[in-house]
Structure 1
């Protein structure tokens, strides 16, 4: 989540993976040694089917199903082995997520994924490490997921990439005062830390206004933001309270006194910006049509055929399926799966993606956008930033 609103898975062959750093099409994967048995590959998706981030979870799941179809060329098999997917609703609650994941692991699942909420993602990374199972985290943006362990990867972007995208369009921030307006949550605090590291590291003075996740009246916090008189207000927000939060900022006249920066959220929220939309320079992880790739066309065809609509986190589910199919082709050993993913570059929805071997960061393009169209806004691409421009520093091993 980023500018006025940082809100914010290969056709399978029978050949054994010989190098983890090879570039390839997302439909090129190796067949695992267990393919002849036909034993199912069990994948557990622990995600927010309900709760505050349920809309994100729905997009993720639709993308995953489309990605699985794409990556297996419509067979739903890796080699001769069918892929069986079990969904677990964590409702955004880390304790429910851990309980659900433990149940799956106890039943022999060696692949889990789907984390929608950052607080959940951090807990599941630890659990994956303890139990030595492959964990492909989903939309959760916390930087703490990168480098969280030998077995954890991510299929979405991370907060650092959001902030780097913002920095690329803000110009020289040296000597400027930046206030981060964020929820007091793992996601919000990760954004505060990233803004301090990236923009503070470039010479800006960074402070924060932490809003309790339970808050429903945002006027007091919007007033603090106005009184702080920052050169830039950086809003980090996720979930269903966004409209009330934006209304409060607007009522306090914040858009008249400073630059507001955020990330583009799901399309259902775009109309809530109302007349302030034109006052915001949006930074985007993804929106429908942003990628301009053949893989994006394939995803869109599958999602729409199934009755869904491509949105912000559809891409994270699609990418997760690509990664899981590629990893599963290496066989049942999670360490072999890890080796298959480390350093892997492939064609994704957004463009070329690379799993950095050192810390499992997913290097990827990012975007800037604007909303046009008044009461029925549409996102328009302004610029596509290449993966190197927004790449996070290598995370220290935990």
Structure 2
């Protein structure tokens, strides 16, 4: 199609004029539309079940916030991308979101290797990432970057909680099984150090490759070591598969099972066999806090079920991000970062504060046991003991104690 010289000059002048506008005018123009938040998560693959939880919370959050007029008068919009849990794919998807889609707010990444792969690029992208799932300790320690925040608990926090809970136990022999990647290794290393400090014996550990379907050989090694307690650091489909096979082999009759991630997703398929299982409930739908009561009410109305771990964790991450945008009155990375540092909110876990020095959210951690209740048709984690922030938080930019 031919373009006249006059039309070309007019369009070029308009584009040049826009580029020459003062920064605050360009910013105002860019921030006049919807607030777009990128969600590179597991839609297919090993992390799909966790990715579904992330998406459910995001959809409900958008519906709730937009019904109230959005954030500072702007609606929010989530853009989902499937990473399949692959770090290289995650970097590629986030690059597309930022460079092609103009998105500079990221959340919903699942695996720790994905988070660690994305974080070094955040400054160049001028983007903010608020983690809602990834638990590797180094994310807020050795691999800390200014534009990354973690709203959920970390692996070391959960391992610390379990170690404190087991401190008074008469049991002396411990075995650990974890997924063979950053979070699993981080948690096992922390747990074994803490247990050794308590003068208890670690009699073995196994790291299972991601996507393992048959755990019979691992279970044989566990039984051969004859531990009194089995520590489990697994999530997603892998955790479900292992716990189902552990029930078939009646491991709970031989030793106490304690899992770092006590998710409804993993215990629901076990039915009655899950009753009695102990572990960390990172988020618990029954926790009595105003923010959680309202979230659970909305979630039940929308999905006709109670929210699970990562639905709660993702909601908390979004609550932090939304409040930072409100207070900074902007989606600019510098403004959001400044508002997030030291920000305290009333969340689904009560009062939660984003620690400014390392961008780890300070929050209490729950130990729960799976029980049958009248409120839910299947067994669910019931909070037994709550550990305060100062008991479970490592020092600033530390992932050990």
Q: Which runs of 5+ in 2 are unaligned?
A: 1-26
Equivalent of residue 246 in structure 1, options 222, 232, 243: 243
Per-residue deviation at 1:104? 1.1
Match of 2:209 in 1: 212
- 1:284–1:366 Cα contact (<8 Å) kept: yes
Q: Which structure 2 residues correspond to residues 305-344 of structure 1 after superposition, within 5 A?
A: 305-307=301-303, 309=305, 310-329=307-326, 330=328, 331-344=330-343
The 1-side partners of 2:122 and 2:304 are apart by: 31
Per-residue deviation at 1:153? 0.6
Work out whether 1:126 is the aligned partner of 2:126: no
Per-residue deviation at 1:36? 10
Match of 1:180 in 2: 176
Work out whether 1:161 is the aligned partner of 2:160: no
- 1:364–1:386 Cα contact (<8 Å) kept: yes
Provide closer, same or farther for how the CA distance between residues 392 and 185 of structure 1 changes in structure 2, counting only shifts above 3 A. Answer: same
Per-residue deviation at 1:109? 1.7
- 2:151–2:360 Cα contact (<8 Å) kept: no
Provide closer, same or farther for how the CA distance between residues 253 and 332 of structure 1 changes in structure 2, counting only shifts above 3 A. Answer: closer
Q: Which runs of 5+ in 1 are unaligned?
A: 1-32
Match of 2:8 in 1: none
Work out whether 1:196 is the aligned partner of 2:189: no
Q: How many residues align?
A: 363
Per-residue deviation at 1:98? 0.7
Q: Which structure 2 residues correspond to residues 71-90 of structure 1 after superposition, within 5 A?
A: 74-76=68-70, 78-90=71-83
Work out whether 1:224 is the aligned partner of 2:218: no
Per-residue deviation at 1:251? 5.1
- 1:136–1:320 Cα contact (<8 Å) kept: yes
Per-residue deviation at 1:300? 1.8
Q: Which structure 2 residues correspond to residues 142-161 of structure 1 after superposition, within 5 A?
A: 142-147=136-141, 148-161=144-157
Per-residue deviation at 1:115? 0.9
Match of 1:99 in 2: 92
Normalization by structure 1: what TM-score?
0.82
- 1:71–1:321 Cα contact (<8 Å) kept: no
Per-residue deviation at 1:170? 0.7
Provide closer, same or farther for how the CA distance between residues 38 and 243 of structure 1 changes in structure 2, counting only shifts above 3 A. Answer: closer
Provide closer, same or farther for how the CA distance between residues 396 and 279 of structure 1 changes in structure 2, counting only shifts above 3 A. Answer: closer
Per-residue deviation at 1:275? 5.6
Provide closer, same or farther for how the CA distance between residues 269 and 248 of structure 1 changes in structure 2, counting only shifts above 3 A. Answer: closer
Q: Which moved more, 1:153-162 or 1:276-285?
A: 276-285
- 1:68–1:325 Cα contact (<8 Å) kept: no
Per-residue deviation at 1:250? 4.4
Match of 2:396 in 1: 394
Q: Can you list the C-alpha shifts for 1:275-310, whole angstroms capped at 9, x where unaligned?
A: 653453232112321x21111122123223323531
Provide closer, same or farther for how the CA distance between residues 288 and 217 of structure 1 changes in structure 2, counting only shifts above 3 A. Answer: same
Match of 1:383 in 2: 385
- 2:174–2:231 Cα contact (<8 Å) kept: yes
The 2-side partners of 1:386 and 1:314 are apart by: 22
- 2:136–2:183 Cα contact (<8 Å) kept: yes
Equivalent of residue 301 in structure 1, options 297, 302, 310: 297
- CA RMSD for the aligned pairs? 2.7
The 1-side partners of 2:108 and 2:97 are apart by: 13
Match of 2:12 in 1: none
Provide closer, same or farther for how the CA distance between residues 248 and 299 of structure 1 changes in structure 2, counting only shifts above 3 A. Answer: closer
Secondary structure, in 3 states, of the residue corresponding to 2:242? Answer: helix
Higher RCO structure (Cα 8 Å, ≥6 apart) = 1
Normalization by structure 2: what TM-score?
0.81
The 2-side partners of 1:234 and 1:271 are apart by: 20
